[in-house]
A and B are shown apart, each in its own frame.
Chain A
Amino acid sequence: MARPRLAVLKLASCSGCQLELLNAEATLLDLVSAVDLASFPMARSRLEEGPFDVVLVEGAVVSHREEAALEQARRVAGLLVAVGACATWGGLVTWRRLAGETAFAAAYPHPELVPAGAIRAVGDAVPVDLAVGGCPADRRELLEAVGCLLVGRAPELRSGPICVECRSREVACRLVSYGEPCLGPITRAGCDALCPSLGRPCNGCRGPADDPNGPGLAEAFRRARIDAEPDSLGPWAVELMKSQSRRSCVGGDGP
């Protein structure tokens, strides 16, 4: 039986999510024997054409170049997976909103020479079959997702908040016990509460949990007299604090 063909496409990104594949040193050679890494420019010289069974897309769309590459990838992809914060919901997309139009002028002496366009997540440009968030995407989740897709099963990605993981690891609550502005209550679990277990509040890098209540968390900060501007809480906080599902409501039981 032919091995399933996998491609990695990089849009505007830091390469951290695709590096997570190479950081799976112990399973990398098994992966290579199970899957044909048909197009993976960071690691391979020979780049094959599609069709591919799975295309992993890292990064955001920032100009017509990425848009064209992404549309082409969608045409040759059996399943297209958006990988990481930039591709799924945040990263560059939300940072640009934070910075406004002055961003180009601050980075380049001649902004007119640089291709420009609206910054979009992958799912805003083409249909996506699966999103694996996180900054970076967690390689256990990524490998689990790829494995499941290849055997035709839906992967089980965690959907509840980080708080669940702090409880199970018996990590003291950064919000209640330390009075810190922790975004754990509205951030999707799956990192085993990395930051709270290492002495700092969650900065929301994994994106919104199911049923987030950002305004409710802001209210909880106020009640606890935690003075924190959202943009001081990390690169994702401003968008995350706005996130609210229909089931959540401000002034309820809070987080």
Chain B
Amino acid sequence: MKARRIRVEPLTRVEGEGSLDIVATRGHIKALRLNIFEPPRLFQGFLVGRPWSAVPDLVARICGICPMAHVITSVQALEDALGVVPSPATVTLRRLLALGGWIQSHALHVFLLAGPDFLGCDDAVEAAGRHPDWVQRGLALKRLGNDVVVAVGGREVHPVTAVVGGFTAAPDGAGLEALARRLEEAIEPAVETVGEVAGFRRPALDRATTHAALVDAGSYAVNTGRWTTTGGLRVTAREYRKAVEEVQVPHSNALHSRLREGGGSFAVGPLPRLNLNAGRLGPEARAALEESGLRLPSFNPFDSIVVRAVELVEALAGAARCCRELAGQPDLARAVRPVEAPTRDGWGASLTEAPRGTLYHAYELDREGRVATADITPPTAQNLRHMELDLWAHLPPLLAEGQERLTRQAEMVIRSYDPCISCATHFLKLRLVEAAADEETALHA
């Protein structure tokens, strides 16, 4: 009997290179795999032997979209290894840098990458013609996020000021006040966006699964907290590797993650984050969430666009609060000046919430303070298996439909994770061929 073989290659409007292969017979998926052919860059290898001081600049280059997340996470892991405690002002300035990253990344995703799907446009270029206000608003919010990153880090891609122990420079009070005003003014258009995306027709996709995110006392988790799952697991950064293992699969240059206990897949990212942290939203985002009518917990990845819009409000309001707090600091540059770090051996780990979900870095240092081992797990690597399982659940009823609709739905599932494949190691052009049934065995789903 003939099986239907579908290939979507390459995946577009995501960061990095990948494709999707599906083999189906009589409305049933026999095999499905998300191929990651993003070329390997071997960061964990480059890092071995490097002095700890060289690490943040190197790991920033893992990802051009979230360099700030890799810098902050590496800096915190190295501080853990070296026994360095940063000042409270440094902690706040790092939160501001991270939130600037959330704003630019979420604005890019909501307005320019995923939004066009829901507006019935091919992409942002087409949307710019048909919905110019939408695209302009997205570009303005994205610019604002980038301006936060520039104010704190010096430039958008690969910021330079965040180092182990503190920052080499700090924005001045007047600059922070001006930024706070712009952030506060942007809350209203961001709240309107929540209402608009909540009105987008979103397919249903619900299956029993596990979500995970950092949960912190008091505030919406960004750079600190305990990694918590909807299954009740709660671990510190130092305990993360005991809870999650990485496995290599033949069709992917990115490793897959699974929970050691039970071997199950899990998802990280905005949706898991909100499911686990809704009670810790600030008043602006909480009101926007209530207005949206989104019911939590939600395990439907298509709800992610609404959640990103809610988080955009949270990040704008949170960043404005950080700016106000830091503007009141008498001599900020001095307050964030890097704490002296010793040259010594040690092991340290850090977990942060990057825009796409939990990011893990751990480093073992030798007696000369050089990296002996580096262990880095980006959000997309943790999500890959979960994305495949979502596709298994979502696509069967659509198999009878035309290739174009099937491709679009598959891409929308994957895009809802905003995958960053460079981090984890690109996206979908669907090719449909008739294949002999025995070819199924060549696809190890």
Contact = CB atoms under 8 A, between A and B. Distances in A.
B12 A65 contact: no
A152 interface: no
B122 A44 contact: yes
A191 B154 CA distance: 11
A106 B45 contact: yes
Contacts of B143: 25-26
**Closest CB pairs A-B (n = 10):** A16-B64, A103-B45, A199-B168, A12-B39, A198-B169, A106-B45, A136-B157, A16-B157, A14-B64, A199-B169
B49 interface: yes
Interface stretch (A49-57, A72-80, A93-101, A158-166): A93-101
B112 interface: yes
Interface in B28-76: 37-51, 53-54, 57-58, 61-65, 67
A200 B160 contact: yes
A243 interface: no
A145 interface: no
B37 A65 contact: yes
A46 B122 contact: yes
Contacts of A45: 12-13, 122-123, 411
B42 A104 contact: yes
A102 B45 contact: yes
Given A14-B61, A22-B108, A232 B51 contact: yes
A231 B13 contact: no
Given A198-B154, A198-B160, A200-B160, A232 B112 contact: no
Contacts of B63: 14-16
A14 B61 CA distance: 6
Contacts of B82: none
Interface in B66-92: 67
B154 A25 contact: no
Contacts of A106: 42, 44-45, 47-48, 373-374
A99 B49 contact: yes
A232 B139 contact: no
Interface stretch (A108-116, A124-132, A209-217, A219-227): A108-116
Interface of B: 10, 12-17, 37-51, 53-54, 57-58, 61-65, 67, 108, 112-113, 122-125, 128, 135-136, 139-140, 142-143, 146, 154-158, 160-161, 163, 168-169, 248, 250, 253, 255, 333, 373-374, 411, 422, 426-427, 429
A235 B124 contact: no
Contacts of B45: 99, 102-107
Nearest to B246: A109
A126 B57 CA distance: 29
B39 A195 contact: no
30 contacts: A10-B426, A14-B64, A15-B65, A16-B158, A20-B156, A23-B156, A23-B157, A25-B139, A26-B143, A28-B139, A41-B13, A42-B426, A43-B124, A45-B12, A46-B122, A98-B50, A99-B48, A105-B45, A115-B253, A135-B158, A136-B157, A194-B155, A195-B154, A199-B161, A200-B161, A200-B168, A231-B49, A233-B54, A234-B54, A234-B57
Given A29-B128, A233-B54, 11 more contacts: A16-B65, A16-B67, A16-B158, A17-B64, A18-B64, A22-B108, A42-B15, A99-B42, A102-B48, A198-B168, A199-B168
Contact of B46 (A47, A95, A205): A95
Nearest to B121: A45
Contacts of A29: 128, 135-136, 139
Nearest to A86: B61
Contacts of B136: 29
A234 B61 CA distance: 12
Interface residues of A, number: 66
Contacts of B374: 106
A170 B250 CA distance: 55
Given A65-B39, A107-B44, A14 B422 contact: yes
B395 to A, nearest CB: 19
Given A32-B128, A108-B248, A63 B62 contact: no
Contacts of A10: 16-17, 426
A194 B128 contact: no
A253 interface: no
A37 interface: yes
A47 B64 CA distance: 22
Given A65-B37, A95-B46, A232-B54, A25 B140 contact: yes
Contact of B39 (A91, A109, A115, A203): A115
Interface in A160-176: none
Contacts of B16: 10, 15
A46 B116 CA distance: 13
Nearest to B55: A235
A96 B253 CA distance: 18
A106 B63 CA distance: 19
Contacts of B64: 13-19, 136
